Amino acid sequence: MGGAVERRVAWRRVPEAGEPLARVRLRTGRDLEVCDVSDGGVLADGQARLLPGTHVDVHVVSLTGRVLVRCRVVRSVVSRLDGVGVCYRSALAFQQPVDTRTAGYGLPEAVGEGPTPEGSRYPALATQVAPPHEQGLST
């Protein structure tokens, strides 16, 4: 049995606790806690049951405010059960790339929805997380 092939296209990073990108909100109103993020998507925990292969709209904080981004649910598994209920860990792939590495997480002009009023500045970025194959980890 050979080693796993690394399929990740973009670097991932773990957002800091107080950072605006530490949480995203589904268009339906449910919040998701971001485990890690890249320009291509997020890995997030939440109580929303998301079915793999379906599409959802997610509000992502950008330099100009919140931007609604269409996502495909790549995978979703039960990550924990507790007295509150079921928590799911879901991988969401952005339909358009979102620049999550530069200050403000701005969408590229070609795919952005245009500026919204009263955007705000955000704290410095958290440390970058290299893909497992560059960290010497096997998956």
- Does residue 138 register a pLDDT over 50? no
- Does residue 71 register a pLDDT over 60? yes
Euclidean distance between CA atoms 54 and 38, whole angstroms: 20
Q: Kindly report the average pLDDT of the chain as a whole number.
A: 75
Going from the C-alpha of 62 to that of each of 24, 25, 96, the distances in angstroms are: 11, 13, 14
pLDDT (tens digit per residue) in 14-68: 888 778 888 899 999 999 999 998 888 999 999 999 999 999 999 987 555 678 8
pTM to 2 decimal places? 0.66
DSSP 41-71: EEEEEES----TT-EEEEEEEETTEEEEEEE
Q: What pLDDT does residue 65 have? A: 62
**Of residues 41, 64, 40, the one with CA closest to residue 117:** 64
Find out whether 90 and 79 touch, Cβ atoms under 8 Å. Answer: no
Find out whether 35 and 14 touch, Cβ atoms under 8 Å. Answer: yes
CATH code of the domain occupying 12-109 = 2.40.10.220
Find out whether 101 and 11 touch, Cβ atoms under 8 Å. Answer: yes
Beta strand residue intervals within 3-133, DSSP E: 12-13, 23-26, 31-38, 41-46, 55-62, 65-81, 86-94, 128-129
Euclidean distance between CA atoms 40 and 96, whole angstroms: 7
